[in-house]
Structure 1
Amino acid sequence: MTDQELQALVEMISVEYFGLPFSHQARFNKRLRTTGGRYLLRSHDVEFNPLHLAEHGEEELIKIIKHELCHYHLHLAGKGYKHADRDFKQLLAQVGGSRYCQQVSGGRKTLPYKYELLCQQCGMAYKRKRKVNPARYRCGRCAGKLKLRQLAD
């Protein structure tokens, strides 16, 4: 699906479910990782994660579009557009949008611990994913000096 096809889909859903036109920009943003979409308050544009379309199909994307259009129309109307607001929850239930999106596999991956800071006095160990300068830190338990140790892979 291209950005132009997405724009047409968002405009159609806006008129069909909300009875109001969508007169701003809708586009895919491949930098979105942990969310299905977002509504930009300043520009009133909406952005969507293309991985949701690829992994979960168009039906899931339509639910995300309805969710973001709830933010859009409520914000422009001056009503409660945030997730916790009653207006948002009621409109979302009325149009059948999803409150939460499904997870995608392209999310952030956590790195394994590669380093350990060891206290030379009490033996307290602090695991770290990145290399740090031990001279800049002290033990939180006894204020002793720390020594950097690389963990085995």
Structure 2
Amino acid sequence: MNDDQLQAWVEQISLQFFGRPFLHQVKFNRRLRSTGGRYFTRSHDIDISKKHYDQFGKDETEKIIKHELCHYHLHLLNKGYKHRDADFKQLLKRVGGSRYCRPLNDKPKENVYRYQLECLKCETTYLRKRKMDVSKYVCGKCKGKLKLIPLDYIQDS
């Protein structure tokens, strides 16, 4: 599906479920990952996550579109268009939109921790994401000196 087909689909959903036309622009945004869509209050345009469409299909994307159209129509009618507003919750329930989008099945990062700190006295280890200056810190258990080890060099025993 391309942006022109998405535009026609959103216009059709808007007329069918809301009884009002969608008069602005909608497009796919390939960078959206943690959210299914976005409504822009200044321009009244809508972005839809291409990744959600590719992974979950038309049914889930239609629920996301309904969610964003609730923001759109309520904002233009000067009613409560935010997630916490009663008007938004009632309209979303009436049209069958989703309150939250499903999370993407992205691959988790292989090695989140890049450094390991090891106490030279009690041999306690700490995992760290960021490099740190070990001369400024001591072990939290015994106050011993710490040694910084990049995890690329750790070998499995």
* TM norm structure 2: 0.81
Name the counterpart of 2:65: 65
- CA root-mean-square deviation: 2.4
Partners of 2:125 and 2:75 in 1: CA distance: 49
Report the Cα offset of residue 17 of structure 1. 1.0
2:99 maps to 1:99: yes
2:48 maps to 1:48: yes
Residue 32 of structure 2 aligns to a residue in which SS? Answer: coil
2:137 maps to 1:138: yes
Residues 139, 145 of structure 2: 8 Å contact kept: no
Work out which of the two has the higher radius of gyration on C-alpha atoms and give 1 or 2: 2
Residue 102 of structure 1 aligns to a residue in which SS? Answer: coil
* Code of the aligned partner of 1:14: S
Residue 34 of structure 1 aligns to a residue in which SS? Answer: coil
Partners of 2:139 and 2:77 in 1: CA distance: 51
Q: Check 1:80–1:136 CA distance in 2 against 1; reply closer, same or farther (3 A cut).
A: farther
Q: Check 1:116–1:14 CA distance in 2 against 1; reply closer, same or farther (3 A cut).
A: same
Partners of 2:90 and 2:135 in 1: CA distance: 52
Report the Cα offset of residue 139 of structure 1. 4.3
Residue 97 of structure 1 aligns to a residue in which SS? Answer: coil
Report the Cα offset of residue 134 of structure 1. 1.4
Report the Cα offset of residue 137 of structure 1. 4.8
Identity percentage over the alignment?
Answer: 53
Residue 101 of structure 2 aligns to a residue in which SS? Answer: coil
Name the counterpart of 1:7: 7
Residues 139, 146 of structure 2: 8 Å contact kept: no
Residues 134, 146 of structure 1: 8 Å contact kept: no
Name the counterpart of 2:33: 33
Report the Cα offset of residue 54 of structure 1. 1.7
Gaps of 5+ in 1: none
Residues 119, 139 of structure 2: 8 Å contact kept: no
Partners of 2:19 and 2:4 in 1: CA distance: 21
Residue 17 of structure 1 aligns to a residue in which SS? Answer: helix
What is the CA deviation profile of residues 69-124 of structure 1, one whole-angstrom value per residue up to 9, with x for unaligned ones? 0111112222221212111110001111111222222x473452221134557766
Name the counterpart of 2:108: 109
* Code of the aligned partner of 2:137: R
Q: Check 1:144–1:84 CA distance in 2 against 1; reply closer, same or farther (3 A cut).
A: farther
Partners of 1:94 and 1:13 in 2: CA distance: 14
